[in-house]
A and B are shown apart, each in its own frame.
Chain A
Amino acid sequence: EADIYQTPRYLVIGTGKKITLECSQTMGHDKMYWYQQDPGMELHLIHYSYGVNSTEKGDLSSESTVSRIRTEHFPLTLESARPSHTSQYLCASSARGNTEAFFGQGTRLTVV
């Protein structure tokens, strides 16, 4: 079934650890995105990609990095997690030429 998957759903990690949030989609979409969402707050675009080997920074500055080696995979990495990184991270994808975005379930990250 075509879908977009994020793992893990929840992650509690200590300060200074390196973490990777996984996002995969089986929808055949070219474009993928990462949004950061605090509870009851705006969704801020932090990274996006038009396709393989394409990555761009979004509106909100983020210390995270992303890669797009395969069309279906768009992982987000934090080299050294800090409490200020505590948030929910949403991955999304959309087809070329279509703005409608499909979202994953999200990863709720807590850095202690």
Chain B
Amino acid sequence: AQRVTQPEKLLSVFKGAPVELKCNYSYSGSPELFWYVQYSRQRLQLLLRHISRESIKGFTADLNKGETSFHLKKPFAQEEDSAMYYCATNNAGNMLTFGGGTRLMVKP
């Protein structure tokens, strides 16, 4: 069965510092990977997907098949980036499996 692991429950950084949220996956096929974000009092929403290879709100994520990782990075964190971040992958039935989530806190 596929599995997504986010080793950090909480990540706290200062404004302007680089941030990296870790995600590792186990999947036998060719996975499609996503990062979802949930800001305070808002619904869960898609942040980015690896096939798009785009930068959203300054965030990027690179799929590393050798390390089975899909870490989310941003060079300079902003206070408005504070949120819960979930890494997710699909399975053969195109159903999303989510990791445990990482709470990012950006301090002023």
Contacts and interface: CB of A to CB of B under 8 A. Distances in A.
Interface of A: 31, 33, 35, 40-45, 48, 58-59, 90, 92, 94, 97, 99-106
Counting chain B CB atoms within 10 Å of each CB, the highest count among A40, A94, A102 belongs to: A40
B43 A59 contact: no
A21 to B, nearest CB: 15
A59 B44 contact: no
Interface string B96-108: 1111110100000
Counting chain A CB atoms within 10 Å of each CB, the highest count among B32, B84, B94, B99 belongs to: B94
B97 A59 contact: yes
B96 A42 contact: no
A100 B34 contact: yes
Contacts of A105: 43
Nearest to A33: B95
Given A40-B9, A40-B103, A100-B49, A45 B96 contact: yes
A40 B97 contact: no
13 contacts: A40-B103, A42-B98, A45-B95, A58-B95, A59-B1, A94-B94, A97-B94, A99-B34, A100-B34, A100-B46, A101-B46, A102-B45, A103-B45
Q: How large is the interface on B (under 10, 10 to 19, 20 to 34, 35 or more residues)?
A: 20 to 34
Contacts of A101: 46, 96
Contacts of B95: 33, 45, 48, 58
A103 B94 CA distance: 16
A100 B49 CA distance: 9
A106 B43 contact: yes
Given A40-B101, A42-B99, A42-B101, A103 B49 contact: no
Contacts of A48: 95
Contact of B98 (A31, A40, A43, A102): A43
